[in-house]
């Protein structure tokens, strides 16, 4: 009788198989870490706002080796005989000041020393096309080339001098440069550059916290 019962159980096992243990629930996939927000693009050191008639340009300094430095670039040999012979400048052209000519540019060398502002160099230049130009545009105003003599004072202001760049006796560029420099400038002190008609007003801002140059340009009336 026991043999018959054993054979019956064995037959059932053969017919239906062994009972499998319950399967464990699948593990949930690990949660992905939250995506970091995209990094904000670095702030441009030169910011321009306004229109053709009135433009505000802000130029921010950055701290380098513990000192505030403006974003000057090397232009070695560009102005060897004018100003204070700087080889580093911030160049501003028609892309920054809409009323400038295509070949016209400003070259600035601002600094911060002992918490005060220094404008070490300020130069204006305009390229001349051809050898027989009779007029040149300087900051929105036309001038007779014949009245601009080399080493003369620009608009009778001894602070600004004229330099003529010649090549094979052909006038290639007219330069207006600062004779000397401005120093010990406080935040908010304004300087009229190149002419005393408020076409270009230069000043430092936030010298104690985040030194910035603010340049206000106004297109002169035609």
Domain boundaries along the sequence of the chain: 46-218
The secondary structure of 39-64, three-state, reads CCCCCCCEEEEECCCEEEEEEECEEE
* Residue 28 token pair: 């949930």
* Integer Cα distance of 121 and 159 in angstroms: 12
pTM for the model: 0.79
pLDDT of the residue at 44: 85
* Integer Cα distance of 87 and 90 in angstroms: 10
Total Cβ atoms within 10 A of residue 60: 18
CA-closest candidate to residue 127, choices 117, 114, 137, 118: 137
pLDDT of the residue at 29: 64
Tracing tokens 């000057």 back to the chain, one arrives at 72
Alpha-carbon torsion angle 146, 152, 157, 163, nearest 10? 90
pLDDT of the residue at 77: 84
pLDDT in tens, the chain (222 residues): 444 444 454 444 444 444 555 565 566 666 666 665 665 456 788 999 999 899 999 999 999 999 999 999 999 888 877 877 788 999 999 999 999 999 999 999 999 999 999 999 999 999 998 888 899 999 999 999 999 999 999 999 999 999 999 888 899 999 999 999 999 999 999 999 999 999 999 999 999 999 999 999 999 987
pLDDT of the residue at 177: 95
DSSP string covering 82-150: STT--SEEEEE-TTTSTTS-TTEEEEEEEEEETTEEEEEEEEEEEE--SS---EEEETTEEEEGGG--T
pLDDT of the residue at 130: 81
CA–CA distances in Å: residue 54 to residues 66, 219, 220:
35, 6, 10
- The three-point CA angle 169-173-176 to 5° equals 125
* Integer Cα distance of 137 and 94 in angstroms: 13
**CB 161 within 8 Å of CB 145:** no
Q: State the pairing for strand pair 135-138/116-127.
A: unpaired
């Amino acid at each position: 009788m026991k043999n018959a019962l054993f054979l019956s159980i064995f037959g059932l096992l053969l017919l239906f198989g062994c009972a499998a243990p319950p399967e464990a629930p699948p593990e949930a996939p690990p949660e992905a870490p939250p995506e970091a927000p995209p990094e904000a693009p670095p702030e441009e050191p030169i910011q321009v706002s306004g229109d053709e008639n009135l433009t505000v340009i802000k130029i921010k300094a950055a701290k380098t080796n513990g000192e505030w430095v403006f974003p000057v670039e090397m232009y070695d040999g560009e102005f060897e005989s004018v100003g204070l012979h700087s080889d580093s400048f911030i160049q501003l052209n028609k892309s920054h000041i809409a009323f400038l000519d295509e070949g016209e540019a400003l070259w600035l060398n601002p600094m911060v020393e002992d918490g005060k502002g220094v404008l070490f160099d300020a130069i204006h230049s305009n390229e001349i096309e051809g050898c027989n130009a009779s007029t040149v545009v300087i900051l929105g105003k036309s001038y007779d080339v014949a009245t601009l003599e080399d080493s003369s004072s620009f608009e009778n202001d001894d602070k600004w001098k004229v330099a003529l760049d010649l090549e094979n006796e052909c006038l290639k560029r007219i330069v207006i440069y600062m004779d000397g420099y401005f120093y010990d400038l406080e935040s908010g002190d304004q300087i009229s550059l190149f002419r005393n008609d408020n076409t270009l007003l230069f000043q430092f801002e936030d010298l104690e916290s985040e030194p910035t140059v603010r340049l206000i340009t106004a297109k002169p009336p035609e």
